[in-house]
Structure 1
């Protein structure tokens, strides 16, 4: 299949072509990267946009159950939903279980849904480096909502906000001690906090937890991209499918306000610039690990630093000279 043929099939909504294209953009081979860049450039003029929703939360909070219930609700409304689920990669082998598709059995059978698990490849933030490009492919294929599930909560996890239009934090019913453990940084970028498992015996605990998070959000500095009442905390039950439609209505309210005020397009422009700079950084870093003269020089200088023949600073300057990036 040529790049032009693949682009045409993606624009026509061909799921198999979309899956092949995502495999292409995730590849690290130089020839595949060149083809992926050509494909993305070919698709760029189509101008299709979907709503990108980032979803993060601690392991065991019920992210997969929530995404399946939420996704099924959206497809019932006639929307096409893509799920990009980033699975943890093994630090030893680089492999990943990629179990999300098996955990979302109902949604995986829905003709209006597309689920793509991807290994995080140890990338900072638990978001596969090429997830942003996979999102662009899903938009070109006509998906209305793209759900981006990340590995878990952590300081580095905030990179998902650089892909999403909305960033939702999924939390479990908990006491005050757990609230203390939530990092301020991730609270500051959250657009909505959804307290899951608000059912059965946990329902009263979930209600109290929601009130605690709502109070914590009120203490944060108001952001210019938020209307009155946002960010907000809500309780939901993915198991009983309660509160999901209300959460969706609130997401739409926030998105529509941001579009009207110009924040939506401005934020996407900022994200595009961020990923341009990130691409340059990653390409430069790749030169240090790709077999060749630069990597050989790195290893040689690393040995000299280890034996005390030179200092780390002097060795770093030597590498920068090799790259043609002398530091002043």
Structure 2
């Protein structure tokens, strides 16, 4: 809803006791009710406007929850009726309303909920995500932008300076008025399963920025450099009002680029003198990068950074372009001196505009949703297999026979799969 129409409704509401409905076919007067129906069929209820007219407030907090931090920007009112949440428990309601109020603490709790493996909490997470997706769809339907947030994936080998880059890049973005969410994936120990989760300590300035949110999460053995729930965390951050989402992966190699299936732009960060032209020609993570960033281009490493930039520019000529409107670029930056960061942001904005105008970004996100659906199916099937009663009964004996060399691992796997299929 545009601001002028919104202000008109404000004046009409203040002057007249009659209330107005904006349905699919326009404004309709309906005595005793006051609702706005958006394109996603989510019902937003308008209460009595306050004096500033920048947000709505209601007399009954039990029926709906306001968002006092929302501004009159042409988006729908951030008030959701109790009908949308009547089947959910109080904790899910608290988290949902907290996200609408842009509370960072509630966002952290919501991410913790979706990361939980507890069956009850996983059901709560599904309820929360369902409401958040419906809310995001309603906001986007009334927004002038194509998407609520710009998702950027950051990957690269260990020692490339990803965390230092996020510190400098994040402060640059918040200084321009953006709200930045950083989802950092920390490697988990193969021995104990624990994770250090020390990403915030390497971003001291950004951690104290009120326009930034940093969330480290354990990889928990997930391959590809990201966690199983990173995609859900992105959705929650968007609902909390963050317009730029940075996803930092663990230190990865040539074949670990699962993050490219959940972001709008994939940025590969490499250190200077990290390889030769042949390394750039190799298939894998290089061919899915939208921009290659040569970091640490300062001091004695400037010459090496220039050389590796030239080599990668030459190597990328052999790659088949994945987009009709964008060719991967290679840039040099210094996270220490901030040199090159403004030019990198301009390049990212140019990429975003080109992809949105061509319609490729819409199709890309649609394809990503399908990809992650199949990923969840694979994860769920594995969980069902491990917890299957018939499999659990014969697994110890088959494991003993495999270890002693009586049967091959393939034979044991076939027997387990037949047992699983027989009773499934």
| Range into which the TM-score falls when normalised by the shorter chain | over 0.9
CA distance in 1, matches of 2:161, 2:343: 18
Cα distance per residue 1:169-204 (max 9 Å; x no partner)? 0011116x4443454211100000000111122112
**Residue 230 (structure 2) aligned to one of 120, 125, 131:** 131
Q: Specify the SS of the correspondent of 2:284.
A: helix
User: What residue number does 2:3 align with?
Assistant: none
User: What residue number does 2:309 align with?
Assistant: 210
User: What residue number does 1:112 align with?
Assistant: 211
Structure 1 residue 29 displacement after superposition: 1.4
User: What residue number does 1:7 align with?
Assistant: 96
1:227 partnered with 2:227: no
Q: Specify the SS of the correspondent of 1:260.
A: helix
Deviates more, 1:213-222 or 1:70-79: 213-222
Structure 1 residue 325 displacement after superposition: 6.8
**Residue 160 (structure 2) aligned to one of 61, 78, 96:** 61
Q: Superposition RMSD on alpha carbons, in Å?
A: 2.0
Structure 2's unaligned 5+ residue stretches are: 1-89, 141-147
CA distance in 2, matches of 1:114, 1:130: 17
CA distance in 2, matches of 1:235, 1:180: 19
**Residue 34 (structure 1) aligned to one of 119, 123, 139:** 123
User: What residue number does 2:392 align with?
Assistant: 295
Q: Which of 1 and 2 has greater Rg?
A: 2
**Residue 159 (structure 1) aligned to one of 255, 258, 262:** 258
Contact 2:149 2:245 in 1 (8 A): yes
TM-score (norm 2): 0.72
**Residue 284 (structure 1) aligned to one of 363, 372, 381:** 381
Q: Specify the SS of the correspondent of 2:256.
A: helix
Between the two structures, name the one with larger relative contact order (CA 8 Å, sep ≥ 6): 1
Structure 1 residue 24 displacement after superposition: 0.8
Matches within 5 A, 1:44-193: 44-46=133-135, 47=137, 49-174=148-273, 177-181=275-279, 183-193=282-292
Contact 2:182 2:248 in 1 (8 A): yes
TM-score (norm 1): 0.92
Task: State the aligned residue count.
Answer: 323
* Structure (1 or 2) with the greater helix fraction: 1
Taking a change above 3 Å as real, the CA distance of residues 269 and 54 of structure 1, as seen in their structure-2 partners, is: same
Contact 1:124 1:156 in 2 (8 A): no
